[in-house]
Homo-oligomer: A and B are copies of this chain.
């Protein structure tokens, strides 16, 4: 509030940063402890242990003290060496974007690109390997947030592993909101963070790195050290007797700890279920409003974000502003290529609750109508309700 001329939003249904759980916010207000003090060092090791339980992995989870885009840049810098042929899978803005980071480090890149409302076909990955058996690294985004679409990382992972390639998975906005873990998809590097489905703050990256990936990094002559781009700097930092290479973001770690505790207290399956049901109800409502989903088919629509096509003649900024002014509800626009083409409704963390699907439909419908787009909001809400009634 205060000096701000803009009203504070009432309900944030963004694709991230997302509204955080109160438990996490209060977690971030815990004391800031000195990172070399044994209390904090032991606490940090415990947090890593909890992350391993959440990720279902054995190799100590890696924390990087920046947001996940930095984590992905660091993963590219650390993993991809000058001898590496990379297969980059681009079904959206983030997938495509990873290729630019890769380009700084790789020997050569093969890319499979599909329309940004589509998903990567595992067969095309298999075909790429047949053509280029020297592919050493495969990079893929699980949930390409700017499109709200999922890639079949489990199938892709099997193929990559069969060809002994390393798989890098961006699971930033899917992990914690659905049933996906590093081993599920044979990920060698699996990047996520607390600021999306875990309902935390956005300034931290969680990475799972396989032993194979660590070995590859160790052999990479260009892998950075003494740098924010180095994964290796932080490899052993999880151990309570190992000093931190740089200063960890103490408050963010406190918040992450609260987020993971909350995740387990509710039960991961319960968390995933309400994310899925919310998205399903939202999609039904959006369609009943007379709108079109962005995803080419519902099977690839993410349970954590719903993207919809902007009706012809309307502008994203106007719709966002109308929803904001009329209802205090925040949605996300597209990004890069998808900017101006779609709008996104986030279902992550505390708003991954079916009632918020009806809020989204109501506020979006109300906003569109104000801009002259005829739509049946009542029908939209009813459609969402039908899904909720069936799902509960």
Contacts and interface: CB of A to CB of B under 8 A. Distances in A.
A382 B378 contact: yes
Contacts of A353: 10, 327-328
Contacts of A29: 22, 25-26, 28-29
A43 interface: yes
A292 to B, nearest CB: 20
A228 interface: yes
Interface string A1-27: 111111111111010111110110110
Interface stretch (A211-219, A250-258, A300-308): A250-258
Interface residues of A, number: 98
Contacts of A359: 355, 358-359
B252 A203 contact: yes
How many copies of this protein are present in the complex?
4
A228 B70 contact: yes
A17 B34 contact: yes
Contact of A355 (B14, B35, B37, B327): B327
A4 B42 contact: yes
A25 B74 CA distance: 29
Contact of A33 (B12, B46, B73, B74): B12
8 contacts: A6-B42, A7-B39, A9-B39, A10-B350, A25-B29, A28-B28, A36-B332, A66-B228
